[in-house]
Amino acid sequence: MDAISVIRTKRDRGRLSDEQIDWVIDAYTRGAVADEQMSALAMAILLNGMDRAEIARWTAAMIASGERMDFSALSRPTADKHSTGGVGDKITLPLAPLVAACGAAVPQLSGRGLGHTGGTLDKLEAIPGWRASLSGAEMMAVLGEVGAVVCAAGDGLAPADKKLYALRDVTGTVESIPLIASSIMSKKIAEGTGSLVLDVKVGSGAFMKSLDDARELAATMVGLGTDHGVRTVALLTDMSVPLGLTAGNALEVRESVEVLAGGGPADVVELTLALAREMLAAAGLPDADPAKALADGSAMDVWRRMIRAQGGDPDAPLPVARETHTVLAPASGTLTRLDAYAVGVAAWRLGAGRARKEDSVQPGAGVVLHAKPGDPVQAGTPLLTLHTDTPEKFASAEEALTDAFTVSPAGTSFTPGPLLLDRIA
């Protein structure tokens, strides 16, 4: 085997053999295939695609590059959720303790934000003392005692994907559906969960802009999970508008706690409950009632225990940005558009996100929304509030929001679209 022949096969729209895939993933992980060679192969895959068998083998090779976790010793069935990322997507925070409160174990391996999409670990690290890095033994202990854990994946889990993901990020090959699907599913299958629910975002604030592309990605991932013995289902959900009323780390934690307390924005509650029902059904607990667990406080109890188990203080005050700036409604009428991508970029520029993986984030930075599409607004009243420790960033954040919203004349008939767009199983 040699890298050039593998590259040429895919460049010329050929099908990679199992042996070629196994060899190139292993050789790249060991350093025997150079970054520039794997970059060329990734671009060829982006341009020419892969069939289902190729994607399945590529995923299996990445799983085989590292260790696999085993939760068979737990007394509960396991269920996990993965979101393809969006703006204001804080769903993991209330969802993991909610599903645990209903009887499943939730081993949630999460990541950090990059660009306009937020990261679950960044949000939780806004809680004083909370730790993202746990050993395998610590993770099992928290799962056994609490029923839910949210933490970073260890270095031994699909190391080929970790290396390839970093390369794709700097070579313009992130958008390849075969590479997205195999990246997500190699980690989730190696994680060892018994069932998996995928939240595939669609819209301006998502990686998948069209419903057709999102369906293709969802179907590919559901097929990969099924082929590897993991009960897998996908929900396609709207990401043209930010989820909830906040985008930013501590801001989103505060909103998540509101949901666990029985309140919070209607769209966050709707999606949390929809995903919880799918996870519980996939775990063999279809009769559990997540709405009841939100209402009676049992989900909040699990949240508090989960945060404490990872070193956090659930009662500690959350960080607050030192400076705020209000964006006012330009006219009276009905808000008919609020672009998720623009809000995400504004939060990123304020310090809530990072441009490179090694960058730090401001825990208090972000954007608070005072209206969502369909709401009436009055000229000169607050539409958005920007939060940051570095007020010199307000100008660039406002620039990102220049064409982010539309206020239509009062009386304009407008009905927001559905949050749940499709289900693939």
Residue-wise pLDDT tens digits, 124-180: 999 999 999 999 999 999 999 999 999 998 888 899 998 998 898 789 898 899 999
Are 259 and 392 members of one domain? no
Give the residue with greater pLDDT, 112 vs 99.
Answer: 99
Does 161 participate in catalysis according to the annotation?
A: yes
Beta bridge partners of 82: 198
Q: Which of 80, 89, 122, 161 is catalytic?
A: 161
Are residues 291 and 233 located together in one domain of the fold? yes
Checking if the pLDDT of 298 tops 90, the result is yes
Domain containing 381 — which CATH number?
A: 3.90.1170.30
State the Cα–Cα distance between residues 410 and 174, nearest whole angstrom. Answer: 42
187 is known as an active-site residue: yes
Q: Do residue 199 and residue 265 come from a single domain?
A: yes
Percent of the chain with pLDDT over 70: 100
Given 10, 163, 187, 188, the catalytic residue: 187
116 is catalytic: no
How confident is the prediction for the chain on average, in pLDDT? 95
Catalytic option among 10, 82, 116, 349: 82
What total of structural domains would you count in the chain? 3
Rounded to whole angstroms, the Cα distance separating 219 from 42 reads 21
- Find the mean pLDDT for residues 199-210: 94
The single residue of 116, 163, 168, 387 carrying the catalytic annotation is 168
Dihedral sign (CA 307, 308, 310, 313):
positive
Do 118 and 233 fall within a single domain? yes
Based on the residue annotation, tell me whether 210 is a catalytic residue of this protein.
Answer: no
Which tens digits make up the pLDDT trace of 223-258? Answer: 999 989 999 999 999 999 999 999 999 999 999 999
Same structural domain for residues 120 and 263? yes
Single-letter code of the amino acid located at 219? A
* 344 in the same domain as 287: no
Per the structure, the complete domain to which residue 220 belongs is given by 80-155+166-309
Predicted confidence at residue 111, as pLDDT, reads 86
State percent of the chain over pLDDT 90: 89
Residue 66 forms part of a structural domain: no
123 is a catalytic site residue: no
Give yes or no for a contact between 368 and 246, defined as CB atoms under 8 angstroms apart.
Answer: yes
Q: For residue 289, is it within any domain?
A: yes
pLDDT at 367: 98
State the pLDDT at residue 169: 78
CB atoms within 10 A of CB 389: 16
